[in-house]
Amino acid sequence: GALVYQYPRRTICKSGTSMRMECQAVGFQATSVAWYRQSPQKTFELIALSTVNSAIKYEQNFTQEKFPISHPNLSFSSMTVLNAYLEDRGLYLCGAREGSDYTFGSGTRLLVI
Amino acid sequence: GEQVEQRPPHLSVREGDSAVITCTYTDPNSYYFFWYKQEPGASLQLLMKVFSSTEINEGQGFTVLLNKKDKRLSLNLTAAHPGDSAAYFCAVSASSSFSKLVFGQGTSLSVVP
């Protein structure tokens, strides 16, 4: 079956530092990968959508300078949160799409101190 | 772009009662509709995916209704039990693999014995 692994599951970083998270699709080839953030008590905001053979498209309020994404092949993507501050805390979810189906990882929970 | 409104934000029902959560969307090109369940501290669990051509879908203990004319999607949990207590999210996307999945704001459901 289709699975998406995210690493790490939980992480704590000091304010102003950066952290990288990874997303691995297993059992299928993802035509696109979407990164979402769920801030405390909120819904899932799309950060960026990365589609094979296309440029990564960032949503309003999110920039490549703050959330650089690497999507080197159909099964792997990584995203870095640069200069993390308190408002960056939350659950970061990776969703890998094949056809019409999205498979989500378990998320990386980021705590900023 | 697509906007998805989900209501109510909070819902409390007694065990055995039904619970209805509704989403409205704006993009007439929306084609795929999803309902997800998120238990505390966990990631997203897909409950059901609905195609635009199907109006009524039944799952295990719930029914999903799609009204394309009104651009409305609803989740009806019949005979709710305490294990249904969780956050529920609708999500909508167009058919293209370049289209993004847009989430509703979420509904926090509490089922009391």
At residue B43, does pLDDT exceed 70? yes
Neighbours of B71 (CB within 10 A): 17
Q: Which residues of A touch B103 (CB under 8 A)?
A: 36, 43-44
User: CA–CA separation, B48 vs B9, rounded Å?
Assistant: 20
Q: What is the pLDDT of residue B53?
A: 61
> Using beta carbons and an 8 Å cutoff, which residues of B are at the interface with A?
6, 31-32, 34, 42-44, 49, 89, 91, 93, 95, 97-98, 100-106
Query: A39 to chain B: nearest residue by CA?
Result: B105
What is residue B101's DSSP assignment? Answer: P
User: CA–CA separation, A76 vs A107, rounded Å?
Assistant: 15
User: CA–CA separation, A56 vs A45, rounded Å?
Assistant: 16
What pairs with residue B51 in β-bridges? B32
CB B18 within 8 A of CB B78: yes
Q: Residue B52 — very low, low, confident or very high, per pLDDT cuts 50/70/90?
A: low
Q: Does A34 touch chain B (CB under 8 A)?
A: yes
- Model pLDDT for residues A7-54, shown as the tens digit of each residue: 999 999 999 999 999 999 999 988 899 999 999 888 899 999 998 778
At residue A98, does pLDDT exceed 90? no
Q: Which residues of A touch B49 (CB under 8 A)?
A: 100-101
Terminal CA-CA length for chain A: 37
Q: Does A8 touch chain B (CB under 8 A)?
A: no
List the single best residue of A60, A100, A104 to mutate versus B (max B Cβ within 10 A): A100
Query: A109 to chain B: nearest residue by CA?
Result: B41
Complete DSSP assignment for A35-71: EEEE-TT--EEEEEEEETTS--EEPTT--TTTS-EEE
Count interface pairs A-B at CB distance under 8 A: 48
